[in-house]
Structure 1
Amino acid sequence: MAQTVVERRSIDVVPDEERHGTAFSQFTLWLGANLQITTVVTGALAVVLGGDVVWSLIGLLAGNLLGGAVMALHSAQGPRLGLPQMISSRAQFGVRGAVVPLVLVVVMYIGFFASGSVLAGQAVGKLTHLGPVPGILLFALVTAVVAAVGYRVVHALGRVASVVCALSFLYLGGRLLGRIDLGDVVAHQHHFSLPMFLLAMSLSASWQLAFGPYVADYSRYLPRTTSARATFGWTLGGTVLGAQWSMAFGVLVAATAGPAFLDDQVGYVVGLGGAGLVASCLYFVVALGKLTVNVLNTYGGFMSIVTGVSGFRGQRALSQRGRAAYIAAVMVAGTAVALAGRNSFLDSFADFLLFLLTFFTPWSAINLVDYYLISKERYDLPALSDPDGRYGGWRLGALAVYGIALAAQFPFLSTSFYTGPLVDPLGGADISWIVGLVVPAVLYYVVGTRRRATAPALPETSAAPVMSGASEGPAGSRHDERGPAAPAPLTPRGE
């Protein structure tokens, strides 16, 4: 069927005739999403907070690889299920119980929207000569418009940003290396500290894990036959390359610039490139990079709110007006936070990242254990919209595991506003994210295996991963033992 630029779907299953693209699209999207100023700041924090150059780079790479692998495993679910990421949480937490992690996800999106708008607002304000506050407002408006158009323009933006930002970072990297003696910087900042190494790992791992709740939103339109290995590999390659590249640049900038970078992150980075027309181009590049990732945050926030609401109101199609209203709500909330906190951005951003990690590592562990080890990549799609179906309204076992995992992390958590009692005995190292991966993975495997042993079996099929015998779900998706037919389009009822 003919495809339109403006996306029609929200949280319903993408039928086979609307699937398109290749797994390589995930590489360009996530490369572009990571080659941007906030990723630079994240890398710089590893040095600003006390780390050295060499071990910060190694710690950031380790965190990017570990967190990126978890994130890419979520991405591989998209073509298989044809669903947004957080819908699959209903298989673990229940149709209504999934609202618990969803609330935290929405807070994350608003926080990242705000932090991105602060930096992008500086760039837009300089570029337009309007100042930072009008810059933030203009940037937020453009973000909302692009998010409202949807999936196709998001990927197109990622392709453009991946090329433009990669060329810009090559240029800026060359300019930076021309100003410093790299050998001298490395020689004078080469001492290993376990707490600082783990901090660097935590910063980059949290950066990657924060993509987990929405990464499948951008792979769900890929054809069902797309290789899971290809989706995983291209996603991992794009996100690790982009993030490590940006973070390494941030480490070197922080190690050499000191207060000049801390006082004006965007201004310092642009100043590396020169003045006049070059500076204007670089301000545009900063705004473009932030636009790419902020659109992801806005789009993901919209999808998460709709997922949470539909768990209680029932699955229904969104009118274009309803879609715009949800996106506007995310934009307004994120912009308000950006305007309120723009003068203390760097001080609060590290704590925001690390605190988010506390909530999303258990969710990732539970989701991945259930999908890959317990459900074997097969879900009953209609039941994901039916609180009286296979997955129920509230799954107390999964919610209990999630709560236990959160509690288990707090003794090991180290932030400016809370430090757990086991941090000092470990030399100040924060290992809460490791606990947040291992504890829920083990507990949920036990709970999920027992639950599956007593649940009705899904019919066997070689044609498709998810089905429920002969049934029709609330979204109009018909299934039989030959595999799921393409879901019938929802009839808009308005919002």
Structure 2
Amino acid sequence: MRIETRSIEFVPHSERYGRPRRLFTVWFSSNLQVTALMVGTLGVASGLSLMWTLAGLVVGCLLGTLFMAAHSAQGPHLGVPQMIQSRAQFGVFGAAIPLLVMVTAAVLFMAASGVLLRDPLKALLPVSDDQAIVIVGVLTMIIGVVGYELIHRLGAWMSLLSSVVFGSALVVLLVRAGVSATAQVDAGGFSMPVFNLVIAQAASWTLGYGPYVADYSRYLPADVRTRDTFWTTYFGCALGSLGMMALGATLAAVVPAALQVDPGTAVASLFGPWARAALLVVALGVVQYNVLCLYSAYMSTTTIFSGFARLQQVRQGSKTLLMALLTVLACAIAVHTQYHFDRFFADILVGQLYLLIPWSAINLVDYYLVQRGRYSIDDLYDAQGRYGRWNRGTLIVYGVSIIGTVPFMKFSFFEGYLAQRIGADISWIAGLALAGLLYLILHRGQALSGRRKPLETGGGGVTSAR
């Protein structure tokens, strides 16, 4: 295993390796951690019964992961990072707009992970609050610099370790609760607004991986079947996220007092004398998720600069420096806001999804219905090429789609008219439908004919979906 030297450039076919099954472990393990657990607690905490909460989580996870896995299937056939491919829709310069949203979201999630891991690390090491956050950042950066292969190997090991810890936690939880659990499980009732909210939260969690999921499949050989890439990603993400969210919902219903402390500490406390070992696995799981955020923030930042500077490769020193800067920024945000983090970032993190979901719809419609996987790789790196600098039509569709979903949005400080009438935030559905439909109308001629002029390319060639 060597330090990854590739970044935003096309991965040559001679360097492709691996099988789609490794996508299962990387997405299963990255979801099998306490951040996803917290999403599962929200329905029960809002008064919904455990059974209805679990039903909402199932619907949300299974729906949201469909779109995430569809992005993953692009990786082997294009051989480029996910957001580089967005230049085909937005233009080489225009892609910087959704990329900025992606970088912001990734850095904020890194900061959130640092705050979330602060107390577990303090339970393991004699460090201060700030030092714990910095340690998380350093570990994240080291793994991120090594890159792709280490991320996948860590995913394989964490799939095993996290399954043992969190699976055992569920068993211990149910055994300890005993007969008294029955009344607590039946507590609460049904509320359509809360049920819809649970679906939206679960779907948004998996949809959030869309802008960078193909970064972890782009090294696979180009001849792998699309359905293999899709389903291994789908089941890995869906089972991992649903398993952790279900554990969170059960924890909230059966032992609600456990959620008054840090979620990682609450899970580890179930293991008695083995609590420190369990806490170590919990911490590593969040670090792994943090690495995905850093790696993707780096890829997106590099894509922005490379578009304007006409770069196709990034040196190792530049990669390390950029990852260090992103890590420092995330740590600074976490340290500065750690004692009132929720107040500042709950709305911001949700807001990123409002901006990224229309991008997802545009990207998927273009890949599967308009271009059908045929792209000129060379032109993705050339502002003078077929994709141009700015694609005004796509940018208008993107802007109109965001504005069109405002009535469906729901923040702590703002609730759209339709969100009030429906009683839930379904802006993710509105964003997907509106952006996808408008983009398809814009390119209806290409989508209906299925015939395009042959693409003239250089060394990068043309890639097409299988």
| Alignment TM-score, normalising by the size of structure 2 | 0.95
The count of residues paired between Structure 1 and Structure 2 equals 461
Which residue of structure 1 aligns with residue 108 of structure 2?
111
- Counterpart residue identity of residue 286, structure 1: V
Higher mean alpha-carbon deviation, 391-400 vs 339-348, is at 339-348
Higher mean alpha-carbon deviation, 339-348 vs 403-412, is at 339-348
Q: Secondary structure at the match of 2:183?
A: helix
Q: Aligned runs of 1:380-391 on 2, under 5 Å?
A: 380-391=376-387
Residues 191-216 of structure 1, C-alpha deviations (whole Å, 9 max, x = no match): 22111111111111111011111100
Tell me which of 434, 437, 440 is aligned to 2:435: 440
Tell me which of 272, 275, 299 is aligned to 1:274: 272
Tell me which of 305, 308, 325 is aligned to 1:309: 305
Which residue of structure 2 aligns with residue 229 of structure 1?
227
Higher relative contact order (CA 8 A, sep 6+): 2
CA RMSD in angstroms comes to 1.9
Which residue of structure 2 aligns with residue 361 of structure 1?
357
How far did 1:421 drift?
A: 2.0
In structure 2, distance between residues paired with 1:50 and 1:392: 51
How far did 1:417 drift?
A: 2.0
Q: Aligned runs of 1:189-268 on 2, under 5 Å?
A: 189=188, 191-268=189-266
Which residue of structure 1 aligns with residue 152 of structure 2?
155
Tell me which of 414, 417, 425 is aligned to 1:418: 414
- CA distance change for structure 1 residues 346 and 56 in 2, over 3 Å: closer, same or farther? farther
Higher helix share: 2
Q: Secondary structure at the match of 1:423?
A: helix
Which residue of structure 1 aligns with residue 184 of structure 2?
185
Higher mean alpha-carbon deviation, 406-415 vs 78-87, is at 406-415
- CA distance change for structure 1 residues 14 and 178 in 2, over 3 Å: closer, same or farther? same
Instruction: Tell me if 1:170 matches 2:167.
Output: yes
- Counterpart residue identity of residue 150, structure 2: V
How far did 1:121 drift?
A: 2.5
Instruction: Tell me if 1:7 matches 2:41.
Output: no
Q: Secondary structure at the match of 2:186?
A: helix
In structure 1, distance between residues paired with 2:357 and 2:348: 14
Residues 47-101 of structure 1, C-alpha deviations (whole Å, 9 max, x = no match): 2234321111111111111111100000000001001111111111111000110
In structure 2, distance between residues paired with 1:89 and 1:453: 22
| Gapped regions of structure 2 (runs ≥ 5) | none
Q: Secondary structure at the match of 1:373?
A: helix
- CA distance change for structure 1 residues 382 and 456 in 2, over 3 Å: closer, same or farther? farther
Which residue of structure 1 aligns with residue 397 of structure 2?
401
Which residue of structure 2 aligns with residue 377 of structure 1?
373
Which residue of structure 1 aligns with residue 62 of structure 2?
65
Which residue of structure 2 aligns with residue 42 of structure 1?
39
- Counterpart residue identity of residue 68, structure 2: M
Which residue of structure 2 aligns with residue 492 of structure 1?
none
- CA distance change for structure 1 residues 378 and 478 in 2, over 3 Å: closer, same or farther? closer
- Counterpart residue identity of residue 115, structure 1: A
Higher mean alpha-carbon deviation, 210-219 vs 174-183, is at 174-183
How far did 1:410 drift?
A: 1.1
| Alignment TM-score, normalising by the size of structure 1 | 0.89
- Counterpart residue identity of residue 433, structure 2: V
Tell me which of 278, 282, 287 is aligned to 1:286: 282
Which residue of structure 2 aligns with residue 344 of structure 1?
340
- Counterpart residue identity of residue 263, structure 2: Q
- Counterpart residue identity of residue 332, structure 2: A
- Counterpart residue identity of residue 449, structure 1: R
Contact between 2:370 and 2:446, CA under 8 Å: does it hold in 1? no
Contact between 2:119 and 2:262, CA under 8 Å: does it hold in 1? no
In structure 2, distance between residues paired with 1:240 and 1:454: 35
